[in-house]
Every structure is written in C-alpha cells, then in structure tokens.
Amino acid sequence: MEKKDLIEDKFRSSFSDFEKEPPSRVWKNVQRNLHQTGPWSRVLAFLHLSARPLGFYLAWGGVAAGVILTVFLIGTRKHGVVRGHAYAGEARLHNGIADLFCVSDNTLPWDSVAYSRSAMIDNYGHFQFSNIGSGNYLLRITPDKTTGESDKYLPSWYEHDEKSDSCKLIVIDGKDVNVEIQLIEKTKH
C-alpha cells in the first residue's frame, strides 16, 4: 500500500480548484498584443504584455546606457607608447627583458607598485610597450643571461638606478614616450 504523503495531499486538495480573478489590465494587454498593427504598436504591445510598469524598463534602459557609456569612456581613455633603448656601457644591450610596473601614488618610496607587462629587448637594445593607459610607471631592464652581459651588468631601473623605490617615474598622458636606459655595471657597484 502506498504511503500517504500529508504535504502532497494538502497542496493537491487546496489547489485542485484554486482560482483567482486576474486584474482587468491583463485582458486589455492581451487584446493590445493580439490586434496590434505597425511597428510602434508592436513595441507598445510588448511593453504592455509585461505586468511591470514602463518605469521598470526605463530604469533598466538607464542602467544599460550607463554601462555602454562607461565602456566607451574606458575605450577612449588616453593611451600612449613607451619605447626606447637599453645600453650596456657604450654599446646597446643584446637581448633582455623590459618590465613595466604601474604606480598609483606619487610619494616615495612607491607603495603601490603593481606589475603591468613585459617586453622583449631585441638584439639592438630596442623595446616597446604599446597601448599604455595614462598613469605613472616604472621600468626595469634585465639583461639576458645567455649573452654574458648579465655577468657585467645589474638589472637596472629607469633612470640609472638599481632600486625601484628611488628611480624615476615615466609619466604617460596619451603621448608616446621615449626612454633611454643605461644599465649599472657590477664593477661600479
């Protein structure tokens, strides 16, 4: 014999003939949707098909417009290019890595240094970072270990410093910036 389920029985008996008169606007909205003509009446019919007031859709429209505007403003924010050359003594550095760090504050020592991105330094000491957003940056050059220059030169920050907390800031404000970096010799150090 099947076990009696009191919850099921209660709900089944309560809702088997459950009815409630809907608001009169339902019929008007259904009619409007069934007998609409033309594109504008279709749009209005859609809005009326929802029980939510027009203000609900206007509020959502406002939120969507805000998001689109924010994305647009971020997309059109000023960007620049940081490019330059790294020198090992009189000659250009043969290969290495250039690391860019973003700085949020303007007070030494930098408390808000965050890694941004890296770029390869080519055989002629050239490096480039494209599409850099406005702000303050630190740049560090590290010689490639395979070239032998890493035996003679230390990883160095712009400009001519071995420590990030006293080196010079690169300011990007929508314009391209050229930087020339001299690596610090280990012997001098």
Partner 1 sequence: MIDQDHDLISRCLRKEVAAEYQLYRRFAAKMYGICLRYGGDEMEAEDILQLGFVRLFQCLHQFKFEGSFDGWVHRIFVTTAINYYRKNLKFIREVDLTEAVDAEAIQEDVLSAITTRELLEIIQNLPIGYRTVFNMYVIENYRHQEIANLLGISVGTSKSQLHLAKSSIKRILESRNK
Q: Which is nearer to partner 1, 21 or 151 (CB)?
A: 21
Nearest-CA neighbor of 44 among 35, 111, 117? Answer: 35
Instruction: Give the integer Cα–Cα distance in Å for 25 and 185.
Output: 83
Q: What is the closest distance, in whole angstroms, from the C-beta atom of residue 6 to partner 1 in the complex? A: 6
Q: What is the closest distance, in whole angstroms, from the C-beta atom of residue 13 to partner 1 in the complex? A: 9
Q: Which is nearer to partner 1, 34 or 91 (CB)?
A: 34
> How far, CA to CA in Å, does 123 sit from each of 87, 127, 143, 151?
11, 10, 11, 17
Give the binding site for partner 1 (CB under 8 A). Answer: 3, 5-8, 10-12, 14-16, 18-23, 26-27, 29-31, 33-35, 49-52
Contact 93, 149 (CB under 8 A): yes
For helices 25-34 and 38-49, angle between their N-to-C axes, nearest 10 degrees: 150
Q: Which is nearer to partner 1, 6 or 73 (CB)?
A: 6
Q: Which is nearer to partner 1, 7 or 91 (CB)?
A: 7
Q: What is the closest distance, in whole angstroms, from the C-beta atom of residue 59 to partner 1 in the complex? A: 15
